[in-house]
Amino acid sequence: MRRPGLQGLQGLKLQAGGDGNRATMQRILIIEDHADIRRLIQLTLEFDDYEIHEEPDGERGLAAARRLQPDVILLDVMMPGRLDGLLVCRQLRADPALARSKVVMLSARGTAADIEMGLSAGADVYLVKPFSPLQLVDVLERLGRGEPVASSGEVPA
């Protein structure tokens, strides 16, 4: 489901391209089984430069990632079904077509071992729930600029 912010036009960035200026939005895929968390993320991001898609489980999320090739994937760790977030992340990282996609793991599990498992699976960032909307926006902005981002409990590089 695509949810562009404010009529889909406000705040679009103009980038010089080979064919002149073109509007671009950062494409984000939310893979999260809890509808209330997906909605919170949507509300947080809907007025910024994001094209938002969502899926409620790992299998559908993986298929959507392959189809959409998003800039950022917000990926819940604990999900029902055959594919949890760690397995989805490993499959995303094994797919050359998704090499440029950044993965932000979202989890209520926040021990050092949990964070290490997420980063070892290929996540770029691991955020522990509950995280603040401002923290999520900051992470996405930093990823968009190619800056280092610290996971919850880590010191920035």
What is the structure's pLDDT at 20? 34
Q: Average pLDDT in the 131-136 region?
A: 93
Average pLDDT in the chain: 84
- 151: pLDDT confidence band, cut at 50, 70 and 90? confident
Q: Is 135 helix (H, G, I), strand (E, B) or coil?
A: helix
93 vs 154, residue with greater confidence: 93
pLDDT at 17 over 60: no
Q: Which of 55, 43, 60, 27 is nearest to 133 (CA)?
A: 43
Other C-beta atoms lying within 10 Å of the C-beta of residue 18: 5
- The b-or-e profile of 89-111 (16+ CB within 10 A means b, else e) is bebbeeeeebeebbbbbbbeeee
User: Is residue 156 over pLDDT 60?
Assistant: no
- Give 75-118 pLDDT, tens digit per residue: 999 999 999 999 999 999 999 999 999 999 999 999 999 999 99
Q: What domains does the chain contain, in order, with CATH numbers?
A: 3-10+22-145 (3.40.50.2300)
